[in-house]
Amino acid sequence: MYDFTGKTALVTGGSRGIGRAVAVTLARGKAQVAINYAGNQAAAEEARDLCLRAGAAQVRLFPFDVADPAACSGAVDRVVQELGGLHVLVNNAGIALDQLVMRIKDEDWQRQLQVNLTGAFNLVRAATRPMMKQRGGAIVNLTSVVGEMGNAGQAAYAATKAGLIGLTKSVARELASRGIRANAVAPGFIDTDMTAELPEAARQKMQEGIPLARLGKAQEVADCVAWLASDQSSYVTGEVVRVNGGMYM
Catalytic residue among 37, 157, 235, 248: 157
Higher pLDDT, 213 or 201: 213
pLDDT in tens, 174-199: 999 999 999 999 999 999 876 777 77
State residue 226's pLDDT score: 98
Count of domains forming the chain:
1
**DSSP state for residue 143 in the 8-state scheme:** -
Which amino acid is residue 108, in one-letter code?
A: D
User: CATH number, domain at 65?
Assistant: 3.40.50.720
- pTM equals 0.97
Residue 1 in any domain: the answer is no
Q: Are 123 and 72 in contact (CB under 8 A)?
A: yes
| C-alpha to C-alpha distances, 32 to 5, 6, 8, 89, 191, nearest whole angstrom | 8, 7, 5, 12, 27
Average pLDDT, the chain: 96
Phi, psi of 180 (to 5 degrees): -105, 125
State residue 198's pLDDT score: 72
Checking if the pLDDT of 73 tops 80, the result is yes
pLDDT in tens, 160-170: 999 999 999 99
Strands across the sheet containing 32-37: 58-63, 32-37, 8-11, 88-91, 137-142, 180-187, 240-243
Domain holding 121, by residue range, is 8-243
- Report H helices in 87-176: 106-112, 119-133, 146-149, 155-175
Residue 249 in any domain: the answer is no
Q: Is 157 a catalytic residue?
A: yes
